[in-house]
Amino acid sequence: MIRFLSYFFPLFFLCSCTGQDIKLNNGTFIEVSKVKGKDALFYPCSASINKIVLLDNSIEEFSGQETAKGKILNKKLNSNNVQIKLENTSYTFEIIDLAKHYWKINNRIYVESEFANSIEKIKEPCTECYSKEECDYLKKQNRELALDEFIYKDKKTVETIKGDFNNDGLEDAIIITDISNKNDVSEYYLLSILVQTANKGLYKLFYESSNILPCLNCKEWSNDSDYSYYDVKLDKGTLYFSTNKTDNGSNKWSTKTYLFKNDDGEMKLKSVTEDYGNLDSDEENIRKLGDLNYLNLKKFNIYSIN
């Protein structure tokens, strides 16, 4: 009797129709879906696949984009299942296919994670959740690719700039792409920053945004037809570019220079300098704009800088 009890507590045994003892071990259970009549592990494009993690004293459930964890209060062994009560909910684990290690957990089908490799994995198409442009970005993210693989084939590449972005001695790159709508007179630019990896000739996407460089004829600007960027440079951990605006109505011109410095692996805005004057005068004025507090490039929007 004592020997039986020593085995009972760490494991739960269920009596199957085959007469075999079935063990409910701690571990991860992954939801199994039916796709076109076949079992599959279906990975949504905007969320994670459902998982349940059983531990000694708790259960953690990953459902879509949410996570819930609860402390186990008690466990009850029945003839064909184990009921586990938590503080605010309960789980029923029932073995339904011993050979496949399938379990019905709260009326949904799961497989023990170590036996999931035999099940087909299906990913929901990215375009079911995001735009084509967003999917292109996600596809490139965290992958090492040749430089030309980061170029949008259906868009016009304005220029490609080489230089050391992260100050590691390797030549990185910036690609500026015209992403404007052909049916719209406005011109919008996408700035892609690529960092060369230790594998020579391969790059990873550091950041991509249309908020960095100003565009021509953008609705965000007044008198914006004369507003544009120029002189983008990348050198020794420094990124900078200038913008130019000529306003004939007010007889004024201005040039702003944005300078970003590498700060522990992140590019932060160090300064914005403005040169300005009147169109009918050779006099030039220079001033620095605001306390920027090292704004991170990934949070930078040129339209928010006054």
Q: What are the residue ranges of CATH 2.40.128 in the chain?
A: 2-123
Dihedral over Cα of 228, 230, 235, 240: its sign = negative
Confidence class for position 175, pLDDT limits 50, 70, 90? very high
Confidence class for position 132, pLDDT limits 50, 70, 90? confident
Q: What are the distances in angstroms from CA 89 to CA 65, 164, 290?
A: 19, 54, 53
- pTM of this structure: 0.55
pLDDT, one tens digit per residue, over 258-290 is 898 877 777 888 888 889 899 888 888 888 876
C-alpha 111 chain-centroid distance:
28
| DSSP structure string for 253-264 | EEEEEEEEEEET
In this predicted structure, what is the pLDDT of residue 2? 38
Which of 92, 42, 44 lies closest to 66 in space, CA to CA?
Answer: 44
In this predicted structure, what is the pLDDT of residue 222? 52
Was domain 2-123 assigned CATH 1.20.120?
A: no
> For strand 48-54 and strand 156-163, is the pairing parallel, antiparallel, or unpaired?
unpaired
pLDDT, one tens digit per residue, over 20-54 is 456 788 999 999 999 989 999 999 887 889 999 99
pLDDT, one tens digit per residue, over 207-244 is 888 878 887 766 655 544 446 788 888 888 888 888 88
In this predicted structure, what is the pLDDT of residue 224? 45
> For strand 82-86 and strand 90-97, is the pairing parallel, antiparallel, or unpaired?
antiparallel
- What's the rounded Cα separation, in Å, for the pair 50 and 33? 10
Q: Which of 62-66, 68-72, 132-136, 302-306 has the highest mean predicted lDDT (pLDDT)?
A: 68-72
Q: Is 119 exposed, middle or buried (0-12, 13-18, 19+ CB in 10 A)?
A: middle
In this predicted structure, what is the pLDDT of residue 103? 95
Q: Which amino acid is at 153?
A: K
